[in-house]
A and B are shown apart, each in its own frame.
Chain A
């Protein structure tokens, strides 16, 4: 193939990247580094550490971290159970686990609110059974529940993909050499599935770190995450410079975590092609 001519095919895409990825990034950084009068400042970038926003930053980081860990703790055993199960068509199980993603996520979070609110469905059932009521709505726990519920498929997909693709030969070889079930999991499956867990971590951590809809609905507007504060700067307070500054610092945090955990974005895309 005439490579130098084929390369030209990328020109429309390069123009698109320049126009809709690079220029917008320059704009948001420029906005972040000026004040409302247009003068240069770095105050907006460091506003994330100011006493008002520090609380939201810590809350966002910790809720995102807790949600990510819970997602791993749920998804990993599920993947191992599915691997060891005798179900012939594993793709059907995958399909059932992914299917909820096709229902609008705001509606699903609203349904979760109806389930767990103080006079919600779960409490009605508990009342009939004369069991103690749950009081979880409008707490950080409720937000974590919502995040785990919404982002679990993003963890399940890559983890399942990486665990299901480990060749059976490798495991049998370990068993022949005397490994028991636990040893197989810790010495064969775990190291071979770390890539999947890594992309799962990015895919859960990044959205839950920057999310504002779940916090609005399940936190009752009482718990502010960074996403909520940024959204309010753009829609209520109308301080776009501060909003941009917070976004850029948020982007820095996200970049750091993806550099630590995120490898193989192609796995990420491959995770969806069942």
Chain B
């Protein structure tokens, strides 16, 4: 038993090294004074300074953020209404709707991207709007699939009780149903944000010239050689996410209930 635990620790440690080695490389490069990718030229913060002066990078960052936030908000609004609507459908229509919802999920990104491109060029100049429409399209299914299980677990009796006690349908909807499905909407929103920020393929096909998100900017620079500012930007973003996630995951309950446990 002891031997297998040692083996287990080594296994997990190797897995961590595999997953984090490239990230460590990127972080190191962001502090590297040499432009070379493999030679360490001393510690510097100049790429962090240069980062905020680079117009192309700040603009791509801004585009990425606005796209992510706008597409997630629109996807959540449409997805919330859609999920409630789907939930109250009869079995046959319910299944049909789930089938259509699954299409962008199951389909390969490259097919979704090309299909949208072929459609957009008919009526829309490619640019921010076309990318936004594309992002909403691939975000909605995830939002719906986060909300539907919450609807299934929902306590409808409370809602009916509210109606019996004289609440209007809309009022009961806002006060009883919305709070119950809010966690689903929230996790859908977070997933939509992540997917939108991380997307490359669909953005690549629907963006046209002139608009860049961070992913497409980086892809365009591969041949020319990546600007070291991008390493510092990704290090910063990684740190921000890390701090946010640590804050969210802190065991607040244990921190605050410590005294109670000790007196017991």
A79 nearest CB across to chain B (Å) = 11
Which of B11, B23, B87, B237 has a CB less than 8 Å from the CB of A78?
A: B11
- The prevalent SS among residues of B at the interface is helix
Report the tally of A-B residue pairs with Cβ distances under 8 A. Answer: 233
Closest chain B residue to A75, Cβ basis: B15
Check: A206 CB closer than 8 A to any chain B CB: yes
CB distance from A230 to the nearest CB of B (A): 6
A248 surroundings in chain B (CB, below 8 A): 111
A106 with B105: CB separation less than 8 A: no
How many angstroms from the CA of A91 to the CA of B50 in the assembled complex? 37
B49 within 8 A of A: no
Pair A121/B118 contact, Cβ less than 8 Å: no
User: B108 contacts the other chain (Cβ, under 8 Å)?
Assistant: yes
In the docked arrangement, what's the CA distance between A31 and B38, Å? 46
User: Who on chain B is nearest to A233 by CB?
Assistant: B114
Task: Flag whether B89 is at the interface (Cβ < 8 A).
Answer: yes
- Whether B15 contacts A74 by the Cβ 8 Å rule is yes
Q: Is A126 interfacial (CB-CB < 8 Å)? A: no
Let me know if A105 and B106 touch, CB within 8 A: no
Question: Nearest CB to that of A78 among chain B residues?
Answer: B15
Taken together as a complex, chains A and B put the C-alpha atoms of A118 and B241 apart, in Å, by 33
B residues sitting closer than 8 Å to A (CB atoms) are 5, 8, 11-12, 15-16, 18-23, 25-26, 29, 37-38, 78-79, 81-82, 84-89, 97, 100-112, 114-119, 122, 133-134, 136-137, 140, 142, 144-146, 148-149, 156, 159-160, 169, 187, 191, 194, 198, 200-201, 205, 214-215, 218-219, 222, 226, 230-231, 234, 237-238, 241-242, 245, 249, 251
Not counting A103-B23, A105-B198, A106-B218, a sample of 5 additional A-B residue pairs whose C-beta atoms are within 8 angstroms of each other reads: A91-B249, A99-B245, A100-B19, A106-B222, A209-B108
